[in-house]
Amino acid sequence: MITRVLKGYGIDVGVMKPFATSHRRYSSMFSSEDVWRLARAAKVADPDDLMNPFFYQIGTAPFLAATMSGRPTPNMSFAVKILRRLSQQHEFLVVEGIGGIMVPISRRETLLDFIKMVGFPAIIVTSPRLGTINHTLLTFHACLSRKIKVYAIIINKKPETTSKVQDRLGSLLSTLTGVKRIIEIPRIRNGHNLKSVEDLIARELFDLESSKQYSRP
The DSSP element (H or E) to which 154 belongs, if any, is: strand 150-158
Question: Residue 129 above 50 pLDDT?
Answer: yes
Cβ neighbors of 97 (< 8 A, separation 6 or more) are 17, 103, 111, 115
CB of 80 within 8 A of CB of 114?
A: yes
* pTM for this prediction: 0.90
Interval 5-63: pLDDT, tens:
999 999 999 999 999 999 999 999 999 999 999 999 999 999 999 999 999 999 999 99
Question: Residue 216 above 50 pLDDT?
Answer: no
* Predicted pLDDT at 144: 98
Question: Residue 161 above 60 pLDDT?
Answer: yes
Instruction: Break the chain into its structural domains and give their ranges.
Output: 1-100, 121-208
Q: Is residue 17 flagged as an active site residue?
A: yes
CATH 3.30.470.20 fits domain 1-100:
no
pLDDT band of residue 208 (cuts 50, 70, 90) is confident
* Candidates 17, 149, 157, 180; catalytic one: 17
Nearest to 5 by CA among 213, 167, 211, 206: 206
DSSP letter string, 170-193: HHHHHHHH--S-EEEEEPP-TTTT
pLDDT (average), residues 112-118: 98
Correct CATH for 121-208 of 3.30.420.40, 3.40.1190.20, 3.40.50.2300, 3.40.50.300? 3.40.50.300
